[in-house]
Structure 1
Amino acid sequence: MKRRLVVLAAPLLLAACAMAPQPAPPSSVTVPVAWRTTLPGANASVERDWWRAFGDPALDALVQQAQANNGDLKVARARLQEYQARIRVADSARLPALNLSLAPTRARAIGPQGTPIESTSLVGAVQASYELDLFGRVANTVEAARFEALSQEAALEAAALAVAANTASGYLNLLGLDAQLALAKATLASRERSYNLARHQFEVGYSSRLEMSQAEAELHATAGTVPQLERQVAQQEQALNLLLGASPGAIARGTDLLSLREPTPGAGLPSELLRRRPDIAQAEQAIAAADASLAVARDALLPSIRLTASLGAGAGGIKQLLRSPTELWSIGGSVLAPLFDAGRLRAQAEIAGTVRDRAIYGYESVVRTAFAETENALASIDGLQRQLLEAEARRAAAGEVLRVAHNRYTNGYASYLEELDAQRTAFSADLAALQLRTSLLAAHVDLYRALGGGWTPAP
């Protein structure tokens, strides 16, 4: 009786020696009450297919192609399948394990009289084993695998959002380069007309060689911007093809830059951002997985109890095994408890604790980054909208200056230097307005990305 009590009390005594809980570090994240910059008249909801707000069917098709063929997304989907399979691996420990064994043996031995004796034996058995999860090690292992899979699912959504945003930004940049290239070609045609006029006036004696040479220099300067922009267009198309998982080639365009709609997404409350962004959900699930892994590491210090059973048959040949075998069976159990491992298991538990703490610090960093990206996108949209208004006013004024200067030069009331300066100012104003509009549309993409792109976590 005493021996039985000792056997039963040993696991409890070992459990009492388990490692004390490791508390998580206190949170240092503070959620702001409101954003510093607000957009007037904006809707607080974000559609999942937010890129449709720009009103360009070609952009819609590019994003869909990127979501289907992007190489990084394929890797993320394969990784998610791996972690879902890991859940099934961990959950298999909840059920008994069954194994079938068949051991045929042919042996020769020396008999009592010194003569060799040959014998044949066949032993077949079905073995079952089951671990009693008294301290929750198996359950915590399953929980850790489940949270890791949820983290990978959120990582896939974050990667999909990044691919959609990069595709949209690349396409908007491509349309901006197209608009700049069209402006450069139109300006080049105007410079050719100015050069022809300056050359004609020089030939008839109404102007000097200096004015003709200045017109020629400006013509070549403008002509040099055309191949530069064409090179940038080709490079941007190739960058988009990489996102699309496609071979090098031209990218189909839809609406031009000036015809794109400017969307009006709203930022909502800062606290809502914590449930909108998939990368925050990924970091949150990583904390839960690390905490469950810490519990598994601590449970490794506790005893494990395993039950085993075996049922089989043995005979000296196949006929005997099929007709009248000898029945074999065994039932048993084992208690495995760590007594001395030079602190290895406790060190592993401490390592798991530091992994959990790093996951918490990483979560806080992701949250702060989300707040900063949203604030930057809101400030960019507000500032670029006001800057674009001034740029459009400057462009209109510069166009009027060029018109007047051209008339004065044509009628002989001013030198070509006056028109040349007006041409440069008008080209610079037009180019700045196009670049600002491209930046403004790209800032809307950044805001959609910062707000999570309409993503909602699965229940």
Structure 2
Amino acid sequence: MRKSTLAAVSAAVLVALAGCTVGPDFVRPAVQSPAAWRIDYPMAAEVANTQWWEQFGDPVLNQLIETALRDNLDVRVAAARIDQFLGALTTTDSQAYPQLGYGAGAARTRASREGQPPIPEPASNYFSLYQASVSASWQVDLFGRVRRLSEAAQAQVYASQQGQRGVVLTLVTGVATSYIALRALDRQLEIAKSTAANFGETARIFDLRFKRGLVSQTEVTQVRSQYQQALTAIPTFEQQIGALENQISILLGRDPAPIPRGKTIDELVAPLIPAGLPSDLLQRRPDILAAEQNLVAANASIGVARSLYYPSLSLTGALGSTSTAFGNFLTGPATTWSVVAGLTGPIFTFGAIEGQVRSAEAQKAQAELVYRQTVLGAFRDTNSALIGTQKSIEGVEYQRGRVKALREFARLSRLKFEAGLIGYLEVLVADNELFAAELAFVNLQANRYSQAINVYQAMGGGWVDLADAQTPRPVGMAGGPRTP
């Protein structure tokens, strides 16, 4: 009766100790976020959770993004990284359970007749030995070391998932921005070719007029200089187009090749701007969520280090059979067994454990500062993108008006020149200003679309999950990623 009571008390103490977890529990750092953005857009918040690139109305862009999500190598690397941390998590979790094993062997031995003790005749000096065993071992998690290790490993899995979402976010916005820039270069190349053709025709006419003595050599030289200036812009744009096509090809996960085109930059429609509060970023930005999970892992590592101060208890048991005759193998007399309990703990470590604890605490402090810095950077990015969107809209409209005015200026100047009221220099100035203004207008159009893309990139949102669903799944997460 006394033995039973002692065993029950020991078991209860063991269970209580196993439920003890040293180290601090994670608490998300308080972050002072602004109440609202510096510029507010009265749009529906659901816009942030849609595949916003479809709002451009270009099926070719949609296909390019779909291809990138499927074949981009960075996305595949991120998926493999999730599998890596899932494997580490599985290994860590296994430490919380008993480890079972088995062993078996058979041996045939010839002993020396001249050994100690000698084997006399007629006894045989040949004998066999058959062995088989099943073993179990368990290191009892008395002070939560394994639980803290598992907590850190789980946080690393979540962080790697957010890392993949971050890659997806960058990939989608990168393809969209590059495609917009490509269509802008296409339009600028068209303008350069059209302008060069017009200037070339003007140069041909001036050559004829010079031969007839109607214009001076100076005016002919001015016209030819203007023509050469327009021609010079053409190879520059062609080089930039080729380089950008190569860049987009890499994003698509394929060798450099021409990129298909859809709508012109004038035909594209800017996506709506999503609404949301600054605090929303804390729940949906991949970099913030990844930084938070890294902080969780660093916090758990403190508990792992502190657990080294406390004793560890291990239990080991084995059940087997050993016999020199196969006929007697696995019978009652051949049975062997053992049960071992071991308790180990530190006495003097001369700062070894203290150093690990201090290192873990310093890593947590670093992770917390990185988290706070990431949050501040997210607020900055979003505010800048929202301001950039509004100002780029204003800039496009101002430049549109300037192009319209310069076209009229160029037309009137040419009429005055044809009437003999002014020299060609004024026409030259008007044409050159119009050429530069048209190119600048295209740049502002592209910037207008890019700023809208930047808003979606800065604010994150449910669209990242929609895009992520189109990427290759990690092997260990065929059913979809786990979320914290």
Normalised TM-score (structure 1): 0.91
Equivalent position to 2:195, from 187, 195, 200: 187
State the shift of 1:124 in Å.
Answer: 1.5
Please name the residue that 2:85 is paired with: 83
Q: Sort the Cα spacing of 1:142 and 1:282 in 2 relative to 1 into closer, same or farther, 3 A.
A: same
2:448 equivalent among 421, 440, 445: 440
The residue number in structure 2 matching 1:233 is: 241
d(CA) in 2 for partners of 1:458, 1:329: 45
- CA gap of 1:256–1:179, structure 2 versus 1, over 3 A, is same
Pick which of 406-415 and 375-384 moved more: 406-415
Distance of 1:27 and 1:89 partners within structure 2: 30
One-letter amino acid of the counterpart of residue 409, structure 1: F
| Equivalent position to 1:130, from 117, 129, 138 | 138
Q: CA deviation at 1:97?
A: 0.8
Matched residues in 2 for 1:333 and 1:76: separation? 43
Stretch moving more, 72-81 or 85-94: 85-94
Partner of 1:100: 102
Aligned partners of 1:90, 1:26: CA distance in 2, in Å? 24
- CA gap of 1:269–1:409, structure 2 versus 1, over 3 A, is same
The letter for the 1-side match of 2:413 is A
**Change over 3 Å in CA distance of 1:125–1:114 after alignment to 2:** closer
Counterpart in the other structure of 2:475: none
- 8 Å Cα contact 1:28/1:364 also seen in 2: no
The size of the alignment, in residue pairs, is 448
8 Å CA contact 2:25, 2:299 repeated in 1: no
* Aligned 8 A contact 2:74 2:167 in 1: yes
Q: What secondary structure does 1:257 align onto?
A: coil
SS at match of 2:263: coil
CA distance in 2, matches of 1:148, 1:107: 56
1:302 is matched with which residue? 310
* Structure 1 runs of 4+ with >6 Å offset: 22-26
Give the equivalent residue in structure 2 for 1:58: 60
Residues 139 and 312, structure 2, Cα contact 8 Å, conserved in 1: yes
Change beyond 3 A, Cα 1:20–1:314: closer
Alignment deviations for residues 265-306 of structure 1 (CA, whole Å, 9 cap, x no partner): 134211111112111111111111111122112112211111
Distance between the aligned counterparts of 2:343 and 2:249, measured in 1? 60
Is it true that 1:151 corresponds to 2:159 in the alignment?
A: yes
Question: In 1, distance between residues paired with 2:354 and 2:414?
Answer: 85
Measure the CA separation in 2 of the matches of 1:288 and 1:416: 72
Q: Give the C-alpha shift of residue 30 in structure 1.
A: 2.1
Name whichever of 417-426 and 448-457 sits farther off.
448-457
**Partner Cα separation in structure 2 for residue 397 and residue 74 of structure 1:** 51
Correspondence for 2:320: 312
**CA distances 1:39-92 after superposition (whole Å, capped 9, x unpaired):** 3x4333303422112111111111111111111111100010111122211121
For 1:284 and 1:25, the matched residues in 2 are separated by: 10
Q: Is this contact kept in 1: 2:23–2:300, CA < 8 A?
A: no
Q: What SS does the corresponding residue of 1:99 show, helix, strand or coil?
A: strand
1:314–1:325 CA contact under 8 A, matched in 2:
no
- 1:435 deviates by 0.5
5+ residue gaps in structure 2? 466-481
Query: Unaligned regions of 5+ residues in structure 1, if any?
Result: none
2:148 is the counterpart of 1:140: yes
Matches within 5 A, 1:24-423: 29-39=31-41, 41-45=42-46, 46-105=48-107, 106=109, 108-109=111-112, 110-113=115-118, 117-321=125-329, 326-423=334-431
Amino acid at match of 1:375: N
RMSD, aligned α-carbons: 2.6
CA distance in 2, matches of 1:248, 1:350: 50
Distance 1:112 1:424 in 2: 112
Identical residues among aligned pairs (%): 30
How far residue 210 of structure 1 moved from its aligned partner, in angstroms, is 0.9
Residues 1:348 and 1:342: Cα distance change in structure 2 (over 3 Å) = same
Paired residue type of 1:308? T
**How far is 1:25 from its partner?**
11
- 2:422 & 2:117 partners in 1: Cα distance? 133
Q: Any idea what the Cα deviations from partners look like across 1:148-168, whole Å, max 9, x if unmatched?
A: 101111111011101111111
Q: Counterpart of 1:176 in structure 2: which amino acid?
A: A
* 1:291 counterpart letter in structure 2: N
Alpha-carbon distance in 2 for matches of 1:27, 1:129: 40
1:113 positional shift: 4.6
Specify the code of the residue in structure 2 equivalent to 1:75: V
- Mean CA deviation greater in 104-113 or 350-359: 104-113
Please say which of residues 229-238 and 197-206 is displaced more in the overlay: 197-206
1:297–1:423: structure 2 CA closer, same or farther, 3 Å change rule? same
Please list the CA deviations of residues 393-425 of structure 1 after superposition, one character each: whole Å capped at 9, or x if unmatched. 100000001111111222322211111111001
Is the deviation greater in 390-399 or in 118-127?
118-127
**Matched residue type, 1:99:** G
Can you list the C-alpha shifts for 1:121-147, whole angstroms capped at 9, x where unaligned? 222111111222221222222221111
Q: Offset at 1:118?
A: 4.7
Are the aligned partners of 1:25 and 1:357 in contact in 2 as well (CA < 8 Å)?
no
